Structure formats: C-alpha cells, structure tokens
Amino acid sequence: MSKYGKVLSLVLIAALAFAVIGLAGCGTTTEKPATTEEKPAVDLKLVTAGQLTAGSDTSFPPFESMNGDVAEGFDVDLLNAMAKEMGIAKTVFKTEIFDTLIPTLKAGGKFDVIASGMTIKPERALEIDFSDPYFDSNQSLAMKTGGKYAAPADMSGKKVGVQSGTTGESWATENLKPAGATLVPFKDAVQAFSALQAGNVDAVVNDLPVTAEMVKDTTKGLAMIAQIPTGEQYGFAISKDNPELKAAINDALAKVKASGEYGTIYKKWFGVDPE
Ligand code: ARG
C-alpha cells in the first residue's frame, strides 16, 4: 500500500467511526421524552405565567359549562390535554359574555386564548387569529315538542331566540328575519332555551350539538325540529400579537389528535367516536 493509500484508509476509518458515533447520537435523541426536547412553556407569552388562561362563555354545554365553580366540557378537556402537551401545568377558564370575547382578547391582559365553541369566520379572523379547526358543527332550530318548521316562511310572525353575537344570530338575521320573524337576542344559550320553555319565544336557533344537549331532558318538552347545515368549524382564538402561542396550540392540537386523546375526549362528551 502506498503512503497515499494508507492515509486514504485512515481517513475512511475515521469517517466510518464518525458515522457510527453520529448514528448512536441520533438514537439517544429520539429516545428522550418529547417534553425535554421542546420547552415552549418557558418561551410563551402568557397572561399568568405557568398557566393557560382561557376566556369562555361557559353556558354552552357540552362544550363548556360551570359545575359549581369548575368549568367542564369538551373544550375544557381538550384545552387541558393540549396545555399538558405544551408543558403548561394547568388551564384556567374565565367566564365572559360571548359578545365581549374577541374585543377582550384583542385588548390583551385578561386571557391567552378563547375556548368557547367559536366558529372560524373570516370577519372574526380580521380581529384575532384562529387555530386549526377542532370541531365540525351546524345550526339547528328548536321548538316545543311537536312544533313545525320546514322553511323560513314558517317563522313569519314568530319570535325566534338567538344568542347575541353568534353565527346562529347571523343565520337567523339572514334567513328568518326577511321571512317575517322577530329575533330576540339573549346573553347566552341557556337563557334562550329557558325562554323557549317558558313560552316567551316560539323557536331558538343555536349550534346543533348544544341544542341536542339542551333538549336531551325530555321533561323540558323541547325538541330539535330542524337541522340547518352551515358547515361551521370551531377554532381556538389567539391574539395576533402572540404568533408563538398560536403555533404551540396548533402543534399541541395535532399531537392530541394523533395520540388518540382527542378521540377519548370526544367520546366522553358526545358518546360516539369522531368521524
Ligand atoms: N359557534 C357559534 C359562534 O361562534 C356559537 C358559539 C357560542 N359559544 C358559547 N360558548 N356560548 O358564533
């Protein structure tokens, strides 16, 4: 072997050794638990350090409602699971009137995220950012059991309850008002359904999964009379000043979906597997 050949083989051996060490190195990295690799919690801008504070109209079961002073529901469990994924120990839900959620988030300082069954809408996205969609929804019309509704004209001369500032209100404004209905706005969905039960309104237009929950107890004498396909998707809302949080939320949502935890939470609140 020439001198040149010897040098070349030494170089090759060294390169091989490097490759082996390199590979071994990779092996250890992947074995590390994911949490030690990413620590976004440290870098994230949060209203209160160490917790994810959510603004929510907590009168919207099964997405969010108050059980004593504890918020519960699909959104609560999902956001909790996502916070864990983000390395944040806990979430705190602050109750706000739905109408005020976007301006309050925009103003800053009160909560980090809106978790309130909020439909992703282009007009809203001008004010705040939305996460990737986390739930598919539609509208519905509820009346007293036995009520009839086939077309908007059936609401002519009738009082229709809606929740202020919602997509249900928008749909009713566009479709039922021109047909001669009087819209009655309520602060939250629970109040709209109480008014329906009391006979103060003739119908309620509201998000389908929530209406399904509200009419479940048949002793109330209420029923979902029509499904209204609007093809809505819920998203978490984040301030446009906090793109890092938005990225972390989307990342956590994807992980919670992939791990199967999303499916477990869905089944807990809706009794079926997600589609
Ligand atoms: N999805 C509808 C909307 O975004 C209604 C949401 C109401 N949410 C609530 N927590 N009250 O307008």
- Mean of pLDDT over the chain: 90
Asked if omega into 61 is within 30° of 0 (cis), the reply is no
Complete DSSP assignment for 10-35: HHHHHHHHHHHHHHHHHHHHHHS-HH
Which pLDDT band, with edges at 50, 70 and 90, does 9 fall under?
A: low
How do 135-144 and 222-234 pair as beta strands? antiparallel
Give yes or no for residue 208 CB within 6 A of ligand 1: no
DSSP string, 170-229: HHHHHHTTTTTPEEEEESSHHHHHHHHHHTSSSEEEEEHHHHHHHT-SGGG-EEEEEEEE
- Which residues make beta-bridge pairs with 56? 95
Contacts of the segment 238-242: beta carbons below 8 A, 24+ positions apart: 238/105, 238/112, 238/113, 238/114, 238/128, 238/129, 238/130, 238/131, 239/105, 239/106, 239/108, 239/112, 239/128, 239/129, 240/106, 240/127, 240/128, 240/129, 241/108, 242/45, 242/112
**Region 88-95 average pLDDT:** 96
Under 8 Å between Cβ of 134 and 78? yes
pLDDT for residue 256 is more than 60:
yes
How far is the centre of ligand 1, averaged over its atoms, from the C-alpha of 264 (Å)?
23
Q: Among 98, 124, 134, 164, which residue has the most ligand 1 atoms within 8 Å of its CB, making it the best to mutate?
A: 98
pLDDT at 31: 44
Higher local confidence (pLDDT), 26 or 162: 162
Residue of higher predicted confidence among 224 and 8: 224
Contacts of 182 (CB under 8 A, 6+ apart): 158, 159, 160
Choice from 128, 136, 166, 169 to test ligand 1 binding pocket (greatest atom count within 8 A of CB): 166
Q: What is the pLDDT of residues 129-142, one digit of tens each?
A: 999 999 999 999 99
Which of 51 and 11 is assigned the larger pLDDT? 51
CA distance 263 to 259: 9
Instruction: Report residue 11's pLDDT band, with 50, 70 and 90 as the boundaries.
Output: very low
Please, how many CA atoms are within 13 Å of residue 30, restricted to the half-sphere of its CB?
A: 6
Instruction: Supply the pLDDT for residue 42.
Output: 56
Can you tell me the distance from the alpha carbon of 4 to that of 260, in angstroms, rounded to the nearest whole number?
Answer: 58
Please tell me the residue having the least CA distance from ligand 1 atom 12.
166
Identical fold, 51-134+235-270 and 138-231 = yes
211 lines ligand 1 (CB under 6 A): no
pLDDT (mean) for 207-229: 98
Using a 6 Å cutoff on CB, does residue 117 contact ligand 1? yes
CA–centroid distance, 257 to ligand 1, in Å, is 22
131 lines ligand 1 (CB under 6 A): no
Exposed/middle/buried for 40, CB within 10 Å: 0-12, 13-18, 19+? middle
Q: Is 60 in the pocket of ligand 1 (CB under 6 A)?
A: yes
80-109 average pLDDT score: 97
pLDDT of residue 275: 87
Look at residue 43 in the predicted model and tell me its pLDDT.
83
Q: Kindly list the domain boundaries of the chain, sorted by start residue.
A: 51-134+235-270, 138-231
pLDDT tens digit string along 32-59?
A: 444 444 454 458 999 999 999 999 999 9
- Domain range 138-231, its CATH number among 3.40.50.300, 3.40.470.10, 3.40.30.10, 3.40.190.10: 3.40.190.10
The CATH number of domain 51-134+235-270 is 3.30.70.3000: no
Q: Is the pLDDT of residue 3 over 80?
A: no
Q: Pairing state of beta strands 51-56 and 113-114? A: parallel
The structure's pTM equals 0.85
Ligand 1 center–CA 199 separation, angstroms: 23
Query: Does the Cβ of 119 fall within 6 Å of ligand 1?
Result: yes
Mean pLDDT (whole number) for 151-171: 98
Q: Is the CB of 118 under 6 A from ligand 1?
A: yes
